[in-house]
Amino acid sequence: MSRLAKKPIAAGKADVSVSGGTLTVKGAKGTLTKRVHPAVGITVGTEGIIVAPKDHSRLARALTGTFAAHVKNMVKGVETPFTVKLILEGVGYKIELKGKELVLTVGFSHPVVLAIPETVSAKVEKNVVTLESADKEAVGQFAANVRRVKPPEPYLGKGIRYEGEVIRRKQGKKAV
C-alpha cells in the first residue's frame, strides 16, 4: 500500500464530500469533482480524508496511492490555484489571446489556434503565457498541448518551453 495513503490528508479550508462514487472538493478558488474507482474507498473524518483499498487486490492497492495524490492535489488546488508559465523564444514568433483562444504564430504558413479549456485561465505578456487553474491535471495537459505545437529545438533554442526548463544545446556544423 502507498505511504501517501497511510496518513490522513488534511482538508484545510476546503469542503470535501463523497457521494455515489463521486468526490467533490469545494474551496475559495473553485469546485472540483472526480469519479472514484470502485476498488478505492474514500471517507471524510474529523482527522482528515482517508483513502483506503476496499479489497486486497493488486489494483486496489495501486489505485489507493494514486487517488490519495489526486485528493491532495484537489484540496491544494481549490485553496491556491496551480500555475504554469510557458516562454516563447524565436525571432518573429508571437502569441496572442483572442477571447477564449490562444493564437500562436510560430513559423508555420498559418497561425495555430488553440481553444483554452473552461477551467483554465490564461494571461499573455509579451512572450510569456501564464496558465492558471484549480485543476492540476487540466492546466498541465493544456500546457503540454501548447508546448507540443513548437517544442524547443536544440540548435538555436527556438520554440515554446516551460519556465525553468533547461534546453541542452547542440553544436552546429563546423566550418572547415
- Contact 60/105 with Cβ under 8 angstroms? no
CATH 3.90.930.12 intervals, the chain: 3-79, 82-162
Per CATH, is 82-162 categorized as 3.90.930.12? yes
In whole angstroms, give the CA distance from residue 144 to residue 138. Answer: 10
**CATH for 3-79?**
3.90.930.12
Per DSSP, the three-state class of 60 is helix
| pLDDT at residue 1 tops 70 | no
- Contact 133/119 with Cβ under 8 angstroms? yes
In whole angstroms, give the CA distance from residue 135 to residue 92. Answer: 33
| 54, three cell numbers | 476496499
Q: Averaged over 81-101, what is the pLDDT?
A: 94
Q: What is the pLDDT of residues 124-160, one digit of tens each?
A: 999 999 999 999 999 999 999 999 999 999 998 899 9
Q: What is the pLDDT of residues 151-165, one digit of tens each?
A: 999 998 899 999 999
